[in-house]
């Protein structure tokens, strides 16, 4: 039985979401966006999952939108609205899920594919990666939410360069501007991602999720503590993870967090 165009599998505490349309370089259809939303939600509510990886099957991460569905936009405005709605909801669900996320990128990571990668906390890639967002070549305007994610990662000037021209960046340039976080040789990508996910899994999940929540608030415009964020900081000292972390430090051993 063939697997769906987006599917999730799990090994230990790590869930991997696969974009699975390799014959189309994982071009993103409306169905795939809905499946992505469902897979992210499934991983987020599963207490056994600590880290979520997103990757593409075959030789691409995702080469952008499904062109056949793009053609329908010209004849049926409802299709355009449906694409906009499900894209927004899927990306927002990924960006704001509680658990650390890693995009594992090979080959083309263009348009919506790059949008998915930008929703992840970290982007690991090999030398084959090519990244770009191409509204300038299509006569489109990206949403504020999409554009803000790019600006948050590379800054306004680099974001304008990418969006004005629609040019495709090679892996080295993408690394130099922060569009990817770790660049490895093609044969080392899987191990690099697995090893990094294991580091996160070994650390305090209470800390990781609280940190992700705080950083998201900063990206949303917060510049000072609120009573809620102060409470997060203060309450942590009474939590089981701090007790274990402090005990491990004092005993010169690795901590064993329970969550």
Predicted pLDDT at 93: 98
The answer to whether residues 30 and 109 belong to one domain is: yes
- 121, part of any domain: yes
- 230, part of any domain: yes
State how far Cα 78 lies from the chain centre.
28
The answer to whether residues 45 and 65 belong to one domain is: yes
Kindly state the helix (H) or strand (E) to which residue 242 belongs, with its residue range: helix 240-250
Q: What is the pLDDT along the chain (259 residues), one digit of tens a residue?
A: 689 999 999 999 999 999 999 999 999 999 999 999 999 999 999 999 999 999 999 999 999 988 887 777 667 778 778 888 999 999 999 999 999 999 999 999 999 999 999 999 999 999 999 999 999 998 889 999 999 999 999 999 999 999 999 999 999 999 999 999 999 998 999 999 999 999 999 999 999 999 999 999 999 999 999 999 999 999 999 999 999 999 999 999 999 998 7
Paired tokens of 8: 């999730």
CA dist 50 and 197 (Å) reads: 9
Predicted pLDDT at 168: 98
The answer to whether residues 72 and 195 belong to one domain is: yes
- 255, part of any domain: no
CATH of the domain at 222: 1.10.12.10
Predicted pLDDT at 74: 63
**Residue 143, Cβ neighbours under 10 Å: how many?**
13
**Biggest distance spanned by C-alpha atoms of the chain:** 68
The answer to whether residues 139 and 184 belong to one domain is: yes
CA dist 177 and 175 (Å) reads: 6
Instruction: Please state the pTM of the whole predicted model.
Output: 0.95
Predicted pLDDT at 157: 98
- 235, part of any domain: yes
The answer to whether residues 193 and 232 belong to one domain is: no
The answer to whether residues 17 and 29 belong to one domain is: yes
- 169, part of any domain: yes
Predicted pLDDT at 225: 97
Paired tokens of 249: 């430090």
- 32, part of any domain: yes
In the chain, how many domains are there? 2
The answer to whether residues 213 and 232 belong to one domain is: yes
CATH of the domain at 102: 3.90.226.10
The answer to whether residues 113 and 146 belong to one domain is: yes
Paired tokens of 85: 């709605």
The answer to whether residues 215 and 163 belong to one domain is: no
- 117, part of any domain: yes
Strand, coil or helix: what is 168? Answer: coil
The answer to whether residues 119 and 38 belong to one domain is: yes
- 257, part of any domain: no
The answer to whether residues 24 and 145 belong to one domain is: yes
The answer to whether residues 126 and 187 belong to one domain is: yes
Range of the domain at 215: 204-250
CA dist 186 and 188 (Å) reads: 5
Domain end marker among 180, 200, 220:
200
């Amino acid at each position: 039985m063939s697997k769906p165009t987006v599917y999730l599998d799990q090994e230990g505490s790590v869930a991997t979401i696969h974009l699975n349309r390799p014959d189309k370089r994982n071009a993103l259809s409306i169905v795939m966006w809905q499946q992505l939303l469902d897979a992210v939600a499934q991983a987020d509510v599963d207490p056994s999952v600590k880290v979520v990886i997103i990757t593409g099957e075959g030789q691409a991460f995702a080469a952008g939108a499904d062109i056949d569905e793009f053609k329908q936009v010209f004849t049926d405005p409802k299709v355009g609205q449906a694409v906009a709605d499900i894209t927004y909801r899927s990306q927002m669900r990924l960006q704001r899920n509680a658990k650390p996320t890693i995009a594992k990128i090979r080959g083309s990571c263009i348009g919506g594919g790059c949008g998915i990668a930008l929703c992840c906390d970290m982007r690991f890639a090999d030398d084959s990666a090519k990244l770009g967002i191409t509204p300038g070549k299509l006569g489109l305007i990206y949403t504020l939410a999409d554009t803000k994610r790019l600006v948050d990662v590379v800054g306004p000037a680099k974001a304008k360069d990418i969006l004005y021209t629609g040019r495709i960046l090679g892996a080295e340039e993408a690394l130099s501007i922060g569009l990817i976080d770790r660049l490895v040789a093609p044969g080392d990508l899987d191990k690099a991602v697995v090893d990094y996910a294991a580091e996160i899994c070994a650390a305090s999940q209470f800390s990781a999720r609280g940190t992700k929540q705080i950083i998201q608030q900063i990206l949303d415009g917060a510049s000072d503590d609120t009573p809620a964020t102060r409470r997060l900081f203060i309450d942590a000292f009474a939590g089981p993870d701090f007790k274990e972390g402090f005990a491990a430090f004092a005993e010169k051993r690795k901590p064993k967090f329970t969550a």
